Amino acid sequence: MASSQSRVTFVAIVLIAVACTNDAGSPAPEATAPPDAFAPTPTIGGLPGTTLAPTTTIPDERVVLQRVDPVSLEPMTAFEPIPMGDHMWNSKISSDGRYLAATVNQDDTGSSELRLVDLQSWAPRASWPESGDLIVHVDESGNVYYISYRSGPEFRIAWAGGTQSSLVVSLPLHYSVWGAERATDGDFILYGVKPAEPGSGNPEQVFVATIDVDNDGALAEIPLPGVSIGTVDPVSQGPWASYLYNVPSFTWDPMASRLLVAHADEDVVSAVDPVRGEVVEHTIAGTVDLEWGSRRLSAISPDGRLLYIATTAVELIEDDDDWSVRTSPSGIKAIDTTTWQMVVRTDEPISMIWVSPNGGVLGSGYSTEESETVFLEESTGLYLIDPSDLSVRVHYPPESPNQFWGPLSFTESGSIAYASTWVDSPRLHALELASGEILSTAEGTEMLEMIGPVGVLANNR
């Protein structure tokens, strides 16, 4: 258990990362799903389980990519596994679904490299001896845009036809980048945290910046002074002070080409125009601010009409002898992004949210209790949500208190969700959104991640 600001920053980064949405690629062929066998009760227990037999055809590297059937999750034997190091993370696919880029690591050397796979020809295409710490974009030629912290934060391009990358721009040394998106053909927007200005009373603040690749990587920062992040100013500076903190959410709206920032200390959404550099704050009517801070996660509907904001509330519990800080999943609000009115809300214990390409909504939640001597956490399970009124269609209860969910990905059509979880070992459930049925379950040893839009599974052999 830790109580330092570094732990706060780590948790915040994890929370924001969970909220990111996969790029949509070309679909893998979808098998016909079974008919609706959905039971009348809204709670499903006893998830079906089958073990995915690991491949033994690759003798050296432990992680491989496999083409799998989108319903059964069984490997397609016509496609040989593609080795991807001993560890693989930060995968990204091109918008047409042809290319996949990821960072891999080798246990024997401890080195990292950036790799590109051509999914159309099902073969490795290129590799670069450096780490893509945050892969931002893969274009339709296979060029990879990424952020590296190799010698300070840098925005770079790895060219598909070569073995070297090019520096676009060196970022300020104090930038900690949480996420980035391509805003236009030549413009990128990135966001995260940096040290606060001297005298502000806060250790850090958010930043949003743009990079113009066509203009020698010109970097321009867009001020967001109204967005609070980090520790809340408590009534008294007790030992709990560093536990009381705010984390806003950042959601890219591709339909309107804008970044939506949901404030944590008030019900306000800042809409950032990366081209004009303008920020407009929208106050959300009909909601209540939280005294001790909150952590937001958000996602947007495919048509850009609704912004879903999930909240974790922070509460200080204090008596004469002891104290603790509790966090509780506090539900979801659906916000109309034209009128900025709250359309509907639910108080179900949900603090994380995912939205499928066809508008389906899934959520999960967990609560914590922390003090100087105690750290407890408990999952509330996974929820399939009706997007029309945010009612719970199906609740998948946790098998253990520390069973948490994520990441999630979807088929290109959005009909099937692939929900990752961990119960003693990694599991992956293929969940049909129309019926709420778990179609199949794969189990692994260390890594098990589905890149849903292209029907590719990364797992240990």
Q: Are 19 and 299 in contact (CB under 8 A)?
A: yes
Neighbours of 209 (CB within 10 A): 22
Q: How many angstroms separate the CA atoms of 247 and 349, rounded?
A: 18
Q: Are 118 and 92 in contact (CB under 8 A)?
A: no
Q: Does the pLDDT at position 381 exceed 90?
A: yes
Q: Are 456 and 412 in contact (CB under 8 A)?
A: no
Q: Does the pLDDT at position 244 exceed 90?
A: no
**Is 21 or 413 the better-scoring residue by pLDDT?**
413
pLDDT at residue number 371: 87
Mean pLDDT calculated for residue range 378-383: 97
pLDDT at residue number 49: 47
- Joined tokens for residue 293: 């801070």
Phi, psi of 7 (to 5 degrees): -70, -40
Neighbours of 247 (CB within 10 A): 26
pLDDT at residue number 368: 93
Percent of the chain with pLDDT over 70: 84
Q: Among candidates 22, 217, 180, which has minimal Cα distance to 101?
A: 22
Q: Does the pLDDT at position 192 exceed 50?
A: yes
Q: Does the pLDDT at position 190 exceed 50?
A: yes
- Label residue 290 by pLDDT band (50, 70, 90): low
Q: Does the pLDDT at position 149 exceed 50?
A: yes
**Is 102 or 237 the better-scoring residue by pLDDT?**
102
Q: How many angstroms separate the CA atoms of 102 and 346, rounded?
A: 37
| Averaged confidence pLDDT in the chain | 85
Q: Among candidates 377, 367, 369, which has minimal Cα distance to 322?
A: 369
User: Any idea what DSSP says for residue 388?
Assistant: T
pLDDT at residue number 5: 38
Q: Among candidates 277, 270, 235, which has minimal Cα distance to 249?
A: 270
| Residue partners of 295: CB distance under 8 A and separation at least 6 | 12, 15, 245, 246, 247, 264, 311, 312, 314, 327, 351
By CB atoms closer than 10 A (0-12, 13-18, 19+), residue 198 is exposed
Mean pLDDT calculated for residue range 40-53: 41
Mean pLDDT calculated for residue range 350-374: 94
Which of 5-14, 240-249, 306-315 comes out lowest in average pLDDT? 5-14
Mean pLDDT calculated for residue range 20-49: 37
Q: How many angstroms separate the CA atoms of 331 and 89, rounded?
A: 30
Q: How many angstroms separate the CA atoms of 164 and 20, rounded?
A: 28
Mean pLDDT calculated for residue range 440-458: 95
- Joined tokens for residue 228: 């609070």
Mean pLDDT calculated for residue range 282-293: 71
SS3 14: helix
Phi, psi of 321 (to 5 degrees): -105, -25
- Label residue 279 by pLDDT band (50, 70, 90): very high
pLDDT at residue number 67: 97
User: Any idea what DSSP says for residue 340?
Assistant: -
SS3 242: helix
3-state helix, strand and coil shares in percent for the chain, rounded to the nearest 5: 5, 50, 45
CA angle 93, 423, 22 (to 5 degrees): 15
Q: Does the pLDDT at position 232 exceed 90?
A: no
**Is 186 or 109 the better-scoring residue by pLDDT?**
186
- Return the residue matching tokens 């519990």: 317
pLDDT at residue number 440: 97
Q: Does the pLDDT at position 173 exceed 50?
A: yes
- Joined tokens for residue 428: 């992956």
pLDDT at residue number 291: 65
Q: Among candidates 87, 174, 117, 127, which has minimal Cα distance to 459?
A: 87
- Label residue 197 by pLDDT band (50, 70, 90): confident
Burial 46-70 (b: 16+ CB within 10 A, else e): ebeeeebebeeebeebbbbbbbbbb
Mean pLDDT calculated for residue range 94-101: 97
By CB atoms closer than 10 A (0-12, 13-18, 19+), residue 254 is middle
Highest mean pLDDT among 252-261, 288-297, 316-325: 252-261
Which of 30-44, 115-129, 270-284, 298-312 comes out lowest in average pLDDT? 30-44
Peptide bond into 407 cis (omega under 30): yes
Q: Are 261 and 307 in contact (CB under 8 A)?
A: no
Q: Are 52 and 430 in contact (CB under 8 A)?
A: no
- Label residue 423 by pLDDT band (50, 70, 90): confident
User: CA 299, 301, 303, 305 torsion: positive or negative?
Assistant: negative
Q: Does the pLDDT at position 384 exceed 90?
A: yes
| Residue partners of 135: CB distance under 8 A and separation at least 6 | 90, 91, 92, 101, 102, 103, 114, 144, 145, 146
pTM: 0.85
Which of 3-12, 99-108, 217-226, 339-348 comes out lowest in average pLDDT? 3-12
pLDDT at residue number 39: 32
- Joined tokens for residue 152: 């300070």
SS3 139: coil
pLDDT at residue number 347: 94
Q: How many angstroms separate the CA atoms of 129 and 98, rounded?
A: 22
pLDDT at residue number 45: 43
Task: For the chain, give the number of residues.
Answer: 461
Which of 124-138, 190-204, 212-226 comes out lowest in average pLDDT? 190-204
Mean pLDDT calculated for residue range 126-131: 91
Mean pLDDT calculated for residue range 4-27: 39
Which residue stretches of 110-159 are H helix?
Answer: none
Strands 112-118 and 99-105: antiparallel
Q: Please state, in angstroms and as integers, the Cα–Cα distance from residue 66 to each residue in 38, 120, 122, following that order.
A: 30, 13, 10
